[in-house]
Homo-oligomer: A and B are copies of this chain.
């Protein structure tokens, strides 16, 4: 076939037009996406709304079974790879071509919402089902992927990109299981992880539709975000060691209170991160004091630290500054800080050709779009290591996510899915 490797955005746009021109009214079934989102919302549903469907939980496992059923209905042949990812594959016209991937995830943060990951996953399956129902066969094989444990740190996708280290398999996930135990729980096999690794060039490309999770699109009344790049993320487990003692008999000036030191640390992180201009963010999201009783001075505190920016060097500079100031905090009351890196995702720019295809697809649907960064990490950043990556954002109402209050309108969701459909078809023509 002679459609691959076109040189300019103009040409690529023309190819997409040719294809969509054959099916000018081709649209996904918006009702089916919404029905699937509604069904997913039942797995790990919280009384106060949203879901707690953390990776490797019973809810996660049950939802994955349903998702695989939907893939079968969409004429995708779903399998679970050794990393625990669900991959629904359909052959293309040209078996010599690398597969074109698109998908997202269905695990949530604790007390998360119903749209983060779910929109992209259900829309990806819907795109495949639409193609199947119209008897459209792409040139490339397509693989609809539901990545495992995105929220814990892109574990599934980084296993495929080769960025997951063996040490990380011992990390404890929000389910209470280690990554290793979790992967076994959902049907993977860590002993064979090297078999899921793909090399640069092993994929034709990757698309992911996702909610913005910020408030820019809604505020600016724009339909579609074309992601220019995904921030790098580094996470650490921080341990503060003091001395456990009786809260009644130990004088204030004789304490080595690990929680007091941790409190100073949390404030310092906020100060250091906001002390320089830019969009970088820093968060302490999790904390525990040991032994954890009202009448005992904490002898140990564990907490997390997370830093993000589009510029990986800036993250390193901030972390260095935090480390310096931490030492001074510990010296104040005889406590010690230790940092253990949980994992690091390097910042990932999207592919210029993929951005053009997305923008063109939006234009073809008479939708407004803008190029913007992603402050959130996504499996797409692991896929960017393997081939051209493109991400499509739709508005998040109020910019709220990782919360039961997370919401995107059915209209925005179907817009996003239709952009994904067109971008996939255009890329199928345009990419090698």
Contact = CB atoms under 8 A, between A and B. Distances in A.
Interface of A: 52, 109-112, 151, 174, 212-214, 231, 233, 235, 243-254, 257, 259-260, 262-267, 270, 273-274, 279, 281-299, 304-306, 308, 342, 374-377, 399-403
Nearest to A252: B274
A7 B262 CA distance: 55
A165 to B, nearest CB: 17
Residue with the highest number of chain B CB atoms closer than 10 Å, among A244, A249, A286: A249
Given A212-B249, A399-B249, A266 B270 contact: no
A323 B9 CA distance: 62
A233 B403 CA distance: 38
A287 B287 contact: yes
Contact of A285 (B214, B254, B296, B399): B296
A293 B109 contact: yes
A213 to B, nearest CB: 4
A253 B274 contact: yes
B253 A231 contact: no
A147 to B, nearest CB: 15
B401 A249 contact: yes
A259 B281 contact: no
Contact of A295 (B253, B283, B374, B399): B283
Given A297-B285, A402-B296, A109 B291 contact: yes
Nearest to A306: B294
A416 to B, nearest CB: 17
B401 A246 contact: yes
B248 A233 contact: yes
12 contacts: A151-B295, A214-B246, A233-B248, A244-B403, A259-B284, A260-B284, A267-B267, A285-B289, A285-B296, A285-B298, A287-B287, A296-B402
Given A260-B267, A267-B267, A296-B402, A248 B287 contact: no
A53 to B, nearest CB: 12
Given A109-B293, A245-B402, 5 more contacts: A247-B306, A286-B292, A293-B402, A297-B402, A299-B403
9 nearest A-B residue pairs (beta carbon): A263-B266, A214-B249, A110-B291, A294-B304, A247-B283, A111-B291, A249-B375, A248-B376, A263-B263
A231 B400 CA distance: 47
A115 B229 CA distance: 59
A44 to B, nearest CB: 12
Contacts of A250: 214, 281, 375, 399
A333 B282 CA distance: 16
A325 to B, nearest CB: 14
A297 B286 CA distance: 9
A290 to B, nearest CB: 7
Nearest to A230: B248
A247 B294 contact: no
Contacts of A402: 244-247, 291, 293, 295-297
B401 A111 contact: no
Contacts of A342: 294
